[in-house]
Amino acid sequence: MNISMDVGIWIAAALTLFIFSFLYRDNPLYKFAEHLFVGVSAGFVVVQQFWQVLWPNLIQPAVTKGTPEVWKFYLGGLLCVLLFTRLFQGISWMSRYTIAALIGTFAGLKVTGFAQAEVVEQVRATMVPLWTGDLGSSINNIILVVGVITTLVFFFFSKEHKGAIGATARVGIWYLMVSFGAAYGFTVMSRISLLIGRLMFLLDEWLGIVRF
Amino acid sequence: MAFGDTLEKLDRRWIFLLVALLVLIPLLRPLRLPLAVSGPARNFYEAVEAVPEGSIVVLAGDFDPASAPELVPMTKSVVRHLFRKNVRIIALQLWEGGPPLVDAILHQVGDELGKTYGVDYVNLGYKSGREAVMPSFGNSFSRTFPNDYSGTAVSKLPLMREADTFAQTALFVNISAGYPGTKEWVQQVQGRFDVRMVSGSTAVQAPEIYPYLQSGQVLGLLGGMAGAAEYEKSIDVPGAATKGMDAQSSAHMFVAFLILLGNAIYFSRRGAARRAS
Amino acid sequence: MMNLLPVVLTAIVGIVVILSFFVPHPYIAEPAQKLQDWAIVIVASGYVLGAANVYKVNGESAIKRQKDWLYKWVLLGSMSGMMVVGFFFSGGTQFLNEGSPFKWAYDFLYVPMQATMFSLLAFFIASAAFRAFRIRTVDAALLAVAALVVMIGRVPLGNLFTAALPEPIQLPTMANWLLEWPQNAAKRGIAIGAGLGVMATGLRIILGIERSHMREEA
């Protein structure tokens, strides 16, 4: 055992244990850590946005002499300032222009991004031969094509799920259930990994019992 | 029945305690069970292996401390793999909480393998804007990131004079914990700039990436801590993920056991209720 | 007019960004690039606005001594502390370099708390597996089988159980097959459906049919 002598490690370990104490029941130590976490996170994000985004991408070029097309930084700055009018009743309507520019940009990016990557490419990748000359890969391709079509039919709500559509949608549900099951299995893996990470910290960096 | 009743009314804190013990004990007394490398992880390794020596790779580390146990080991492995091949790295981050984690890995592995900052690797740091950053970065690295992680103008970094778009790079590696991450990079950058791309994802996100794998939009995938351990095995440098796999095994078996036990109790009670009526 | 102008602005911006995907000419590409440059700084300002809102909401309840007011002071104090340290005592743009007080706070406050907060989910998912995962129908049975195969098949202990069996029926092979084919098919169906949905919603916004984002609140 080679316990840490670093104050920072001790504070980190204490905060870790404060949060774990919630598993026993809600208590003041947990509440303290919870509020400290929100405060530290919010403070961290503001400082980071300033030094890593607003400073290099807006303020620094706007105040530096000789920046080409400096007007675009002024206009960008104006859009940012308008956003803050949301805090003041009476002039909050001004923020609409910033929101409009932002929403328009994101809508445009999403439309083309989804069309290309999620629709065109995915449909193309589903256009596979149902007989490849090899039984195994042919069955896999059939499973894929049937799964994509039946899942899409399940999400088709403009027509009542009865008769042939109902039966197809039923198969789609089975596919979805398999998919949700796999997702659940992976979610368990993720959550357990996070716990492993914290216990590794306590055993290694704090208590020095095992080195990872 | 009585035993089933007792179990069903069991205080959940006993389950919490068992979970903690089942993770803790294998960490203290590892079994070192053998690990098999899955197809997507092998493809990830081969895509990195195929990068020509001396070329430049873009590494986006889009995660924060919440997913560090899964993604830090795979980031470390991919940086080591690239540096060992004398491939140069341009790193960036789109998640607020993660930039120092990626920066520490670059410096730690870089120092270990004798790499020089600015020449062999650059960390561009963080930008907000999610999807808006992606095509913008694809059009010009230096316009989107005028300064690096520490505020140095990128024009002063030799590596950044050699690459300003994806066309000058050999591979794009995305280590991703969710939004924005692999899905968005595929939507905004992969097809638009014809980028060769691999993804290391949290286990939660990994199933979402499979359609891109089969379509060839993503060439390889590391899923969660298991994926990280598989990659550590591929590059022959066991790290934290490999050491965590025994704990992962025992906890998974316990959760599977709980599902079966819960249902055994449920069916035995339902059978008894039917017999009684 | 006040309502119409932002709608028109959304439409113009959206169309320019869509066109930039197809037309690389600078007349389209450059304005689209500028819009993305602005989006980056606007989102950053959004975070600052969010922080101002945290002050407003929590400051009120801290001053009025509402429920948990003492903890609200912890929140406001730590937030202000981080900002003071980050803006004035951590070397400006080098605020996250090794050795700065801000980096110290990141390493020993932010990292352990965020990581531990999320690790709590490991306990709750185990408890839920016991109490809530009931196989009442064929659908639920399919879900459970897929979950068990993936959960056990993706870890070394699961490999060990079926190592003696022929390769095609070993758990890791089954887990990988399940992920690559039936699971993949369903995910692709969802992706295509969601893709069409996002395209439709995006176009509705650009065409001004969907305007809920135009509501402003003080």
- In a 3-state reduction of DSSP, which class is residue C121? helix
Asked if residues B185 and B60 have their Cβ atoms less than 8 Å apart, the reply is yes
Tokens 């999807």 — which residue? Answer: B131
Burial B79-93 (b: 16+ CB within 10 A, else e): bbbbbebebbbbbbb
Sheet containing B121-126: order of strands: B121-126, B88-93, B56-62, B171-176, B197-201, B221-223
DSSP structural state of residue A2: -
* C-alpha span between C110 and C127 (Å, rounded): 27
Asked if residues C11 and C206 have their Cβ atoms less than 8 Å apart, the reply is yes
Asked if residues C188 and B211 have their Cβ atoms less than 8 Å apart, the reply is yes
User: Does residue A185 register a pLDDT over 90?
Assistant: yes
Asked if residues A79 and A60 have their Cβ atoms less than 8 Å apart, the reply is no
* C-alpha span between A71 and A39 (Å, rounded): 36
Contact C155 B252 (CB under 8 A): yes
DSSP structural state of residue A121: H
B143: contact with C, CB 8 A cutoff: yes
In chain B, which among 109-138 make CB contacts under 8 A with chain A? 125-129, 131-132, 135
Q: What pLDDT shows up at residue C2?
A: 67
pLDDT digits (tens, 9 = 90+) for A120-169: 999 999 999 999 999 999 999 999 999 999 999 999 888 899 999 999 99
* C-alpha span between C1 and A80 (Å, rounded): 22
pLDDT digits (tens, 9 = 90+) for B221-243: 999 999 999 999 999 999 999 99
pLDDT digits (tens, 9 = 90+) for C24-46: 899 999 999 999 999 999 999 99
Q: How far is CA C58 from CA B114, C73, C78, in A?
A: 49, 8, 13
* C-alpha span between B64 and B71 (Å, rounded): 9
Instruction: Tell me what ipTM this predicted complex has.
Output: 0.94
User: Does residue B1 register a pLDDT over 70?
Assistant: no
Residues of A in contact with C217 (CB under 8 A): 86, 92
DSSP readout, C51-87?
HHHHHHHHHHHHHTT-TTHHHHHHHHHHHHHHHHHHH
Q: Is it true that the peptide bond before B180 is cis, omega within 30 degrees of 0?
A: yes
C172: contact with A, CB 8 A cutoff: no
User: Does residue C112 register a pLDDT over 70?
Assistant: yes
Contact C87 A48 (CB under 8 A): no
Q: Which residues pair with B200 in a beta bridge?
A: B175, B222
pTM score above 0.90: yes
